[in-house]
C-alpha cells in the first residue's frame, strides 16, 4: 500500500539544526495502523535528537523518557533529556501512543587477529576516527574490520619498522611492543609503537549516598569520550546505619598523562547508561599528586537541573571504613499494596538508605494494580509519583484513583523515597 507521509512528526536534532526537514519525516506504517515510522536514519556518535510532533496546539517533544525500555537499540542510545547517540549507525524509529521503538544497525570497527581474523576488541571512537591501543607479540598478524571493508597493510598511511606485510594483506608484527592504531575510514591507518605499555595509574572515586541509590555505579569518560569505562567497586562505608553511606571505586588507566580531562558519570549498573548525574568535566592537571576524587558530603545534584555535586581531589585512604559504630536502620513500614494475579496482598519494602526503601524482584502480571503505602508517613504514592525520567514508566498506566497498573508483565525493582512523599518519589527498575 502507498505510504502516507505525516506532516507533523519529524526526527530533529543536531544533525539537521533542530529544524523539521523533509528527509526526517515519519510516515504511517502500512503493517501497523496508528504507528508512525522512519527507517535507515544515519546518526553519528554524539548526535542529539528528539522526535517532534509539530501539530498546532500540540508541539510535543519525545525524548529519552519516551523510549521503550525493551527496544533493541537501547544499548546505543542514552541521555537524560535529548536522546544521545552512543554509537554511529543506521536507526529505525517507530512511534505509537507517544512511545518510541528503535532498532539499530551499528557502524563499528574491530581489531581482528590471525589466523582466523574474527572480529575482536572494538576500536574506540575519537572524533571521526577509531582508535585502539594494544600489546602485541612478534609473529602476530592483524586486520581492522569495518562494516563494509577490512583494512590491512596496504591501508597503513606511514609504515613503521615494527610492522610488515603479512599474508593476505594482514599487518604482521615484527617486534614485541605496545601499538596504537588510529583508523580514519576514509584514508587509512596511522600506527604508533612503544616498547612497553604505558604505566597504569589507579584513580579512585568516593561517591555519596544519594549518588549510589538504586545501586547506581560510576563510569569514567576521558577527554569527553562517549565510550565510558567501568569502575571496580571496592567497599561501602556506612555513615549512621549499616548498608547506607558512601562507596569507594577504582579504575586503572594506562597513559593517564595523555588525557586532559576526566568525568565520573552516575550510571545504570546493568547497561552503563547515564543516570542523570555527573561530576562535570574535571581538568586532570588540577589533581596534582592526588589520586581520589570525592563527592562525600555533597547534596544531590542533577544534570537536568544544570547542577553538579561539590567535590575535590584528595589522597586515597585505604584504611577508611566509615563509621565503626553504625547500627542497623529500624525498618520503615512501607508496602506495595494492591491486587496481584487476582489476589489482594501487601508486600513489605526493605530498608535501603536514610530516606529510601526498596523492593526487589517483584514479578507482576498485566493488569496487576497497586499503590505504595507508607504507613509511618501516612502517604499513599501512585502513578503520578513515578519519576518522569524513569524509562520503565511506559510499562504502566493509571486510573482515576492514581493506581499503578501493569501494562507490560515482567519482574521489577521498586525504590521509594519517603522524604519526597507523593512527589517524584518512585523509581522502577
Is 99 within the bounds of a domain?
Answer: yes
**Count of the separate structural domains present in the chain:** 4
Among the three residues 106, 131, 147, which one is the final residue of a domain in this structure?
106
Q: What is the pLDDT of residues 312-360, one digit of tens each?
A: 999 999 999 999 998 877 778 999 999 999 999 999 998 887 788 899 9
Helix (H, G, I), strand (E, B) or coil at 74: helix
Q: Which residue has the cell 556518535?
A: 45
CATH code assigned at 176: 2.60.40.3620
Sheet holding 292-294, edge to edge: 232-238, 245-254, 200-206, 292-294, 312-314
Instruction: Tell me, yes or no, whether 42 and 75 share the same domain.
Output: yes
Same domain? For 277 and 175 the reply is: no
**Do residue 343 and residue 372 come from a single domain?**
yes
CATH, residue 340: 2.60.40
Whether residue 350 lies inside any domain: the answer is: yes
211 and 149 share a domain?
no
Looking at the domain assignment, is residue 132 inside a domain?
yes
Is residue 27 scored above 80 in pLDDT? yes
In a domain, 328, yes or no: no
- For residue 315, count other CB atoms closer than 10 A to its CB: 10
223 and 309 fall within a common domain? yes
Q: Work out the percent of the chain whose per-residue pLDDT is above 90.
A: 60
Task: Judge if 310 and 206 occupy the same domain.
Answer: yes
> How many CB atoms are closer than 10 A to CB 127?
11
Model confidence at 2: pLDDT above 60: no
Extract the C-alpha cell encoding 88: 554511529
Tell whether 322 is covered by a domain: no
**Residue that finishes a domain, picked among 106, 131, 161:** 106
- Whether residues 209 and 299 share a domain: the answer is yes
Q: Does some domain include residue 327? A: no
Q: Strand, helix or coil at 15?
A: helix
DSSP letters of 241-275? BTT-EEEEEEEEEETGGG--EEEEEEE-TTT--EE
CA 302, distance to chain mean position in Å, is: 15
pTM (two decimals): 0.56
Assess whether 93 and 148 both reside in one domain: no
Q: What is the pLDDT of residues 115-128, one digit of tens each?
A: 999 888 888 777 67
Domain that holds residue 290: 200-314
Q: List, for residues 187-196, the tens digit of each pLDDT value.
A: 999 999 999 8
Q: Which residue has the higher pLDDT, 7 or 290?
A: 290
Amino acid at each position: 500500500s502507498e505510504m502516507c507521509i505525516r506532516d507533523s512528526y519529524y526526527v530533529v536534532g543536531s544533525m539537521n539544526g533542530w529544524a523539521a526537514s523533509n528527509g526526517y519525516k515519519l510516515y504511517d506504517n502500512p503493517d501497523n495502523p496508528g504507528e508512525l515510522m522512519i527507517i535507515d536514519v544515519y546518526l553519528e556518535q554524539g548526535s542529539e535528537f528528539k522526535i517532534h510532533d509539530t501539530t498546532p496546539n500540540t508541539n510535543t517533544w519525545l525524548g529519552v523518557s519516551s523510549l521503550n525500555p525493551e527496544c533493541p537499540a537501547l544499548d546505543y542510545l542514552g541521555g537524560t533529556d535529548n536522546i544521545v547517540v552512543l554509537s554511529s549507525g543506521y536507526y529505525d524509529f517507530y512511534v505509537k501512543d507517544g512511545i518510541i521503538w528503535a532498532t539499530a544497525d551499528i557502524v563499528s570497527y574491530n581489531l581482528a587477529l590471525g589466523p582466523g581474523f574474527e572480529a575482536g576488541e572494538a576500536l574506540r571512537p575519537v572524533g571521526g576516527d577509531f582508535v585502539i591501543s594494544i600489546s602485541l607479540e612478534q609473529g602476530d598478524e592483524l586486520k581492522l574490520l569495518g562494516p563494509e571493508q577490512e583494512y590491512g597493510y596496504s591501508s597503513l598511511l606511514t609504515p613503521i619498522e615494527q610492522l610488515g606485510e603479512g599474508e593476505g594483506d594482514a599487518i604482521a608484527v615484527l617486534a614485541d611492543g605496545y601499538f596504537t592504531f588510529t583508523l580514519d575510514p576514509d584514508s587509512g591507518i596511522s600506527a604508533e609503537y612503544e616498547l612497553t605499555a604505558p604505566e597504569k595509574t589507579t584513580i579512585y572515586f568516593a561517591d555519596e549516598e544519594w549518588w549510589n541509590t538504586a545501586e547506581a555505579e560510576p563510569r569514567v569518560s576521558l577527554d569527553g569520550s562517549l565510550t565510558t569505562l567501568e569502575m571496580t567497586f571496592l567497599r561501602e562505608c556506612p555513615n549512621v546505619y549499616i548498608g547506607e553511606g558512601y562507596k569507594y571505586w577504582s579504575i586503572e588507566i594506562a597513559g593517564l598523562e595523555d588525557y586532559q580531562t576526566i568525568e565520573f558519570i552516575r550510571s545504570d549498573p546493568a547497561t552503563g547508561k547515564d543516570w542523570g548525574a555527573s561530576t562535570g568535566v574535571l581538568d586532570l592537571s588540577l589533581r596534582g599528586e592526588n589520586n581520589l576524587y570525592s563527592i562525600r558530603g555533597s547534596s544531590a545534584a542533577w544534570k537536568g537541573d544544570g547542577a553538579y555535586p561539590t567535590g575535590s581531589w584528595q589522597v586515597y585512604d585505604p584504611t577508611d571504613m566509615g563509621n565503626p559504630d553504625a547500627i542497623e536502620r529500624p525498618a520503615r513500614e512501607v508496602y506495595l499494596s494492591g491486587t496481584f494475579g487476582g489476589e489482594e496482598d501487601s508486600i513489605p519494602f526493605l530498608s535501603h538508605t536514610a530516606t529510601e526503601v526498596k523492593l526487589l524482584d517483584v514479578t507482576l502480571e498485566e493488569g496487576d494494580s497497586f499503590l505504595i503505602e507508607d504507613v509511618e508517613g501516612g502517604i499513599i504514592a501512585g502513578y503520578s509519583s513515578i519519576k518522569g525520567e524513569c524509562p520503565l514508566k511506559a510499562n504502566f498506566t493509571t486510573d482515576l484513583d492514581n493506581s499503578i497498573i501493569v501494562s507490560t508483565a515482567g519482574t521489577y525493582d521498586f525504590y521509594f523515597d519517603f522524604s519526597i512523599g507523593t512527589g517524584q518519589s518512585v523509581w522502577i527498575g
